[in-house]
A and B are shown apart, each in its own frame.
Chain A
Amino acid sequence: MKQLKGKPVSAGIIIGQALVYNSHKQIILKEKIPKEAVETEIDRFNNSVKFTKAQLKKIYTNLLKTMGKESALIIETQYLLVKEGNLVNDIRNIIINECTKAEWAIKEIETKYVEIFRKIPDLTFRERGNDISDVMVRLIHNLKSNKVITNPDIDNVILVADDIPPSIAANLMSQGKILGLVFNEGGETAHTVILARTLEIPTILNAETATEVITNDDILVVDGLNGEVTINPTKSFLTKTLIKKEKYQDHKEKLKQVMKLPDITRDNHPFHLLGNIELAFESDILKSYGAKGIGLFRTEFLFMDQDIAQSSEQQYLIYKNIAQKFYPEPVVIRTFDVGRDKASEFIQKEVEHNPALGTMAVRLFLKERDLFKKQITAILRANETGNIKILFPMVTEIEEIYTIKTLLRQCREDLMKEKKFHGKDVKFGIMIEIPAVVKLIKYLKDDVDFFSIGTNDLMQYLLAVDRNNSSVSYLSSPFHPAVIEILFEILEESTRIGKEVTVCGEMAGKTFTALMLLGMGYTRFSMNPLAITEIKRIFTRIHFSYVKKVVKQLLKMNSKSEIEEYLIETLLKKYPDIFIKPPEF
Chain B
Amino acid sequence: MIKETIEIINKLGLHARASAKLSHLANSFQSDIFLIYHEDRVNAKSLLGILTLAASVGNPITIEADGKDEKEAVQKIAEMFKNKFDEES
Please give the residue numbers on chain A whose beta carbons come within 8 Å of chain B beta carbons, in ascending order: 73, 76-77, 80-81, 84, 86-87, 113, 116-117, 120-122, 124-126, 128, 131-132, 351, 353
Residues of the A chain whose Cβ atoms lie less than 8 Å from the Cβ of B16: 73, 76-77, 128, 131
Please tell me if B61 contacts chain A, counting CB pairs below 8 Å.
no
The answer to whether B17 touches A76 (Cβ under 8 A) is yes
- Provide the bound-state CA to CA distance between A86 and B44, in Å: 12
A353 to B56, CA, bound (A): 25
The answer to whether B51 touches A84, judged by C-beta atoms less than 8 angstroms apart, is no
Contact B12 A116 (CB under 8 A): no
Docked Cα-Cα span, A73 to B56, in Å, equals 19
Question: When A77-B20, A128-B16 are in contact, do A113 and B54 touch as well, CB less than 8 Å?
Answer: no
- B23 an interface residue at 8 Å Cβ cutoff? yes
Inter-subunit contact B51/A125 (CB<8 Å):
yes
Give the interface residue-count category, chain B: 10 to 19
Interface centre among B13, B43, B51 (most CB of A within 10 A): B51
Report yes or no: B48 in contact with A86, Cβ–Cβ below 8 A. yes
Task: Contact check, A122 vs B54: say whether CB atoms are below 8 A apart.
Answer: yes
Q: Which A residues are CB-close (under 8 A) to B48?
A: 81, 84, 86-87, 113, 132
Which residues of B, 7-39, contact A by the 8 Å Cβ criterion?
12-13, 15-17, 20, 23-24
| B52 and A86 within 8 A (CB) | no
Bound form: Cα–Cα A128–B54 in Å: 9
B46 within 8 A of A: yes
Cβ–Cβ contact B46 & A124, under 8 A? no
Do the beta carbons of A86 and B17 come within 8 Å of each other?
Answer: no
Whether the Cβ atoms of A120 and B54 lie closer than 8 Å is yes
**A73 touching B17 in the complex, CB below 8 Å, given contacts A84-B23, A86-B46, A122-B56:** yes
B43 nearest CB neighbor, chain A only: A86
User: Do A124 and B15 touch (CB < 8 A)?
Assistant: yes
Say whether B56 contacts A80, CB under 8 Å: no
**A128-B51 in contact (CB<8A):** yes
Determine the chain B residues whose CB is within 8 A of the CB of A81 once the complex forms: 47-48
Question: What 4 pairs across the A-B complex have the smallest Cβ distances?
Answer: A125-B54, A77-B16, A120-B54, A86-B46
Query: What sequence of 0s and 1s flags, for each residue 54-89 of chain B, a beta carbon within 8 Å of any chain A beta carbon?
Result: 101000000000000000000000000000001000
Provide 13 A-B residue pairs closer than 8 Å at the C-beta atoms, listed in order of the A residue: A76-B17, A77-B20, A80-B20, A80-B23, A80-B47, A81-B47, A84-B45, A86-B49, A117-B51, A121-B54, A122-B54, A124-B15, A126-B54
How many contacts between A and B, using CB within 8 angstroms? Answer: 50
A87, closest chain B residue (CB): B48
What are the residues of chain A within 8 A of B52 when measuring CB–CB?
113, 116-117, 120
A30 to B52, CA, bound (A): 27
A80 proximity list for chain B (CB < 8 A): 20, 23, 47
| 19 further A-B pairs in the complex, CB-CB below 8 A; given A86-B43, A132-B48 | A73-B16, A76-B16, A76-B17, A77-B16, A80-B23, A80-B47, A81-B48, A84-B23, A84-B45, A84-B46, A84-B48, A86-B48, A87-B48, A120-B52, A122-B56, A125-B15, A125-B54, A126-B54, A353-B86
Q: Is the CB of A84 within 8 A of B47?
A: yes
Nearest-neighbour CB distance to chain A for B46, whole angstroms, equals: 5
Distance to closest chain B CB from A436 (angstroms): 28
Q: Which residues of A contact B49 (CB under 8 A)?
A: 86
Q: Does the CB pair A124–B47 fall under 8 Å?
A: no
Q: How far is the CA of A122 from the CA of B45 in the complex (A)?
A: 23
Question: Which residues of chain B are within 8 angstroms of A122 by Cβ–Cβ distance?
Answer: 13, 54, 56
Q: How far is the CA of A125 from the CA of B8 in the complex (A)?
A: 15
Chain B residues near A132: list those with CB within 8 A: 48
Question: A113 vs B52: C-alpha distance in the bound complex, in angstroms?
Answer: 8
Q: In the assembled complex, which residues on chain B have CB atoms less than 8 Å from the CB atom of A121?
A: 54
For B40, the closest partner residue in chain A by CB is: A116
| Residues from chain A with Cβ under 8 Å of B46 in the complex | 84, 86
Chain A, residue nearest B53 (CB): A125
User: Which residues on the B side are within 8 Å of A353 (C-beta)?
Assistant: 86
Q: Contacting B20 at CB < 8 Å: which of A76, A116, A125?
A: A76
Most A CB atoms within 10 A — which of B16, B47, B52? B16
Q: Which residues of B contact A125 (CB under 8 A)?
A: 13, 15, 51, 54, 56
Q: List chain B residues, Cβ under 8 A from A117.
A: 51-52
In the assembly, what is the distance between CA of A80 and CA of B16, in Å? Answer: 10
Q: How far is the CB of B33 from chain A (nearest CB, A)?
A: 14
Residues of B within 8 A of A86 (CB): 43, 46-49
Residues of B within 8 A of A73 (CB): 16-17
Q: Which residue of the partner chain A has the closest CB to B49? A: A86
Which chain A positions have C-beta within 8 A of B51? Answer: 117, 125, 128
Closest CB of chain A to B49's CB: distance in Å?
A: 7
The docked-state distance in angstroms from the alpha carbon of A86 to that of B23 is 12
A87 to B: closest C-beta gap in Å: 6
Residues of A contacting B56 in the complex (Cβ-Cβ under 8 angstroms)? 122, 125
A351–B21 alpha-carbon span in the complex (Å) = 10
What residues of chain A lie closer than 8 Å to B17, measured between beta carbons? 73, 76-77
Residues of A with C-beta under 8 A to B24: 351
Separation of A370 and B16 alpha carbons in the complex (Å): 34
Closest to A78 in B: B16
A113 to B54, CA, bound (A): 13
- A117 CA to B51 CA in the complex, in Å? 9
Residue of A nearest to B56 (CB): A122
